[in-house]
A and B are shown apart, each in its own frame.
Chain A
């Protein structure tokens, strides 16, 4: 792998909006440094420290700014998706401990793993609603589709949930998908990076 490719991979630690705005400039800086012979072994350690010390703050700022700039519906969907996703993940993990001690068949255990996967994907989809950039949007759509497909498979193979729980499990990712496919307003596009 070429040095610039390694650098580009490291830059993915930064939030998408920041990369959209400054990614090209940062790559040009790297090319200058390479040309000036500054890219040596110590360079990568210093770069890793720089990324580790600056990325968390930039993510926090981007999420905060995006949240501030989003419309009410978008905020609501995002927060609900993340909340439901996290709660479902915790619930699934608690249940998985119970499974370890109980006598569940293989299919039940597969369904449990799928429910956790579905919940994690929903959390990611909710997070993606707040982020700027095409990559975040695509990742959000894939996560929402994944969550929906996983839940649908689960409901079909083991219809043990109530009608209400099945309805919410299917309707929520669909609502998320609709929100992710709806064209964003100017305020959303102008979210501060």
Chain B
């Protein structure tokens, strides 16, 4: 009898590439299509991070393959185009949370070494 697949640990996917984490942060607010993700990332980072189509869809391809995000077909209200919308899975939310905690620990370490000056960000 084949062994059931072992449950994956979110930590097994860490550390995430920065662009991938930006995508997960955007999807934490709810489902989005590709262009909405691009705009949200650019807005949140003040234009410092602008995802190109290859970066965005390359990352989404890997996130879909690992079960971090899932896609849903939804017809846009303002047109006839059916776009794919993406949303975080439960596992994906755990991965995003684990990455956020990892980054928080890194920031804490940087602060303890005086590398982050209060009010400089």
Contact = CB atoms under 8 A, between A and B. Distances in A.
B83 A18 contact: no
Interface stretch (B2-10, B52-60, B101-109, B112-120): B52-60
A54 B54 contact: yes
Contacts of A58: 54, 58, 61
B83 A25 contact: yes
A193 B62 CA distance: 9
How many chain A residues sit at the interface, stated as a range, is 20 to 34
B84 A54 contact: no
Interface residues of B, number: 19
Which 3 A/B pairs are nearest by Cβ-Cβ distance?
A50-B52, A54-B54, A22-B57
24 contacts: A14-B54, A18-B58, A18-B61, A22-B60, A22-B61, A25-B33, A25-B83, A26-B53, A28-B35, A29-B34, A29-B35, A29-B38, A29-B53, A32-B35, A47-B52, A47-B53, A50-B52, A50-B54, A51-B54, A54-B52, A54-B54, A54-B58, A61-B62, A193-B61
Interface of A: 14, 18, 21-22, 25-26, 28-30, 32-33, 46-47, 49-51, 53-55, 57-58, 61, 192-193
Interface of B: 33-35, 38, 50, 52-58, 60-62, 65, 81, 83-84
Given A18-B58, A18-B61, A22-B61, 10 more contacts: A25-B83, A29-B38, A29-B56, A33-B35, A51-B52, A51-B54, A53-B55, A54-B58, A55-B54, A192-B65
